[in-house]
Amino acid sequence: MKLIKPGSTIGILGGGQLGRMITLAGRNMGYRFITLDPMPDSPCGQVADRQIIASYSEIEAAKELADSSDVITYEFENVNSNVAAILESTSLVPQGSELLKITQNRVREKSTLQSFNVPIAPFMVIQTEKDIRTAIDRFGLPCVMKTATGGYDGKGQWVIRNRDNISMAMEVWKKAGVEMIMEQFVPFSKELSVIVARNSLGQVKTFPVAENIHMNNILHQSIVPARITDSQRTQAEAIGIKIAESLQAVGLLAIEMFLTNDGNIIVNELAPRPHNSGHFSMDACMTSQFEQHIRTICGLPLGDTTLLSPIIMVNILGKHLNRVLEKIDQLPPAAKLHLYGKDENVENRKMGHMNLLGSTHEQIFEQIKELQIWD
């Protein structure tokens, strides 16, 4: 892959907050940006040099993006993989369309991980009503039914906790009309994630392992460094590197994991991009995940990912935003506020995040408690 030097133009498929933060990091490095997104004045469009307003599936708009860019990336995995494949055939798309295709579909993703001998929860593809009962008999209760495509923040997932939920599961399957999988439920003590960066030269670096706390299936806090043992940390990083190298990934790959009650690590899912649980890196690492992403797709050497301080990232949802703004003059000196410029404030929509740094996690938790924003 050729070196894409500062001054070049980076095209971004998608105009959300991840594209915004990629653009802000890349501007510091001297790059220019064009984004394609159907929403006028998108978070990324506000800070890019130009926004093409069009559907992700609009081929002519994608070609316009390609003609105006030296390299193309995507900021979330639900962009049209066929469009990415077309762009890949005529333009420089270092992440490629194959990884996008794999991670857009849970069946393909889990089958691929299984082929790498990566630890995952046992699963079964659901194609008939009978398959639902077969899977429940095989995995026991509780178990988890998920759509193969389109799920995020807990959407497209149903926990079947007892026999009374089976009829509900069958109704959901009938109405959804999409491919689904059933997974064995994994009893876990912690949810973890590790973000791996890999460039076209095969250089690989991991970011510090994050410990993630969810509320109502939406990420609430990422605690870094994760409160796990050194051997568990090493195991999580090794699994992440194995996946990235097995996929020959270029770019960032976020791997969400469960730390089971017996101390093992199970991979839950992948995201081929910067990730919400990596936002801590913006203020606590030598190199942020967004700068690292730019480095990977432009063929630059990877930056140092050393953690400089304990940190807790807290998401700001729509229901928190007014309280954040009311207390803007009361934030601790080491609190770093990042808002995304979204025009519509919806209760559970991610409107921004706050990174709080301190000498210990306990000190930071106390700061969060005193703010009384996330009660």
pLDDT tens, position by position, 260-296: 999 999 999 999 999 999 999 999 999 999 999 999 9
Using left for φ > 0, alpha for ψ between -120 and 50, and beta otherwise, residue 117 falls in left
3-state secondary structure of 157: strand
What average pLDDT does this structure show over 106-121? 96
Is the pLDDT higher at 124 or at 164? 124
> Alpha-carbon distance 193 to 258, whole Å?
8
- What pLDDT, on the 0 to 100 scale, is given for residue 151? 64
Residue 8: is its pLDDT beyond 70?
yes
Q: Give the integer Cα–Cα distance in Å for 370 and 177.
A: 47
**Model's pTM, two decimal places?**
0.94
In the chain, what is the straight-line distance between the N-terminal and C-terminal CA atoms, in Å?
49
Answer positive or negative: Cα dihedral of 24, 30, 31, 35. positive
The mean pLDDT of 137-150, rounded to a whole number, is 90
- Residue type for 180, please? M
Angle at 146 between CA 145 and CA 147, to 5 degrees: 135
Q: How confident is the model at residue 153 (pLDDT cuts 50, 70, 90)?
A: low
Single-letter residue type at 320: H
pLDDT at 278: 98
What local confidence, expressed as pLDDT, does residue 88 receive?
82
Q: Give the per-residue pLDDT at 210.
A: 98
The predicted pLDDT at position 59 comes to 87
What CA–CA distances, in Å, run from 19 to 6, 22, 226, 248? 18, 5, 26, 23
Q: Which residue spans within 186-273 are E strands per DSSP?
A: 188-198, 204-206, 210-215, 218-224, 251-260, 265-271
* Residue 179 in this model has a pLDDT that exceeds 70: yes
- How does the average pLDDT of the chain come out, rounded? 93
Of 341, 346, 368, nearest in space to 357 by CA: 368
**Cβ–Cβ < 8 Å for 142, 132:** no
The residue with greater pLDDT, 360 or 56, is 360
What's residue 80's pLDDT? Answer: 72
- The pLDDT tens digits of the residues spanning 199-222 come to 999 999 999 999 999 999 899 999
pLDDT of 150 higher than 80: no
* Residue 106: predicted pLDDT: 93
The pLDDT, as a whole number, for residue 375 is 79
Question: pLDDT value at position 214?
Answer: 96
Owner of token pair 């270092």? 94
Confidence band (pLDDT; 50, 70, 90) for 154?
low
pLDDT at site 81: 65
Question: What's the confidence (pLDDT) of residue 100?
Answer: 86
Could you tell me the domains of the chain?
A: 9-93 (3.40.50.20), 122-184 (3.30.1490.20), 188-371 (3.30.470.20)
Query: Is 80 exceeded by the pLDDT of residue 82?
Result: no
Confidence bin at 73 (pLDDT 50/70/90): very high
pLDDT of 156: 78
Percent of the chain with pLDDT over 70: 98
145 burial (CB, 10 Å; 0-12 / 13-18 / 19+) is buried
Task: Provide the pLDDT for residue 174.
Answer: 77
d(Cα 228, Cα 215) in Å, to the nearest integer?
Answer: 21
Q: Please choose, from the candidates 288, 255, 293, 279, the residue with its C-alpha nearest in 3D space to the C-alpha of residue 340.
A: 279
Residue-wise pLDDT tens digits, 156-172: 788 898 887 888 888 88
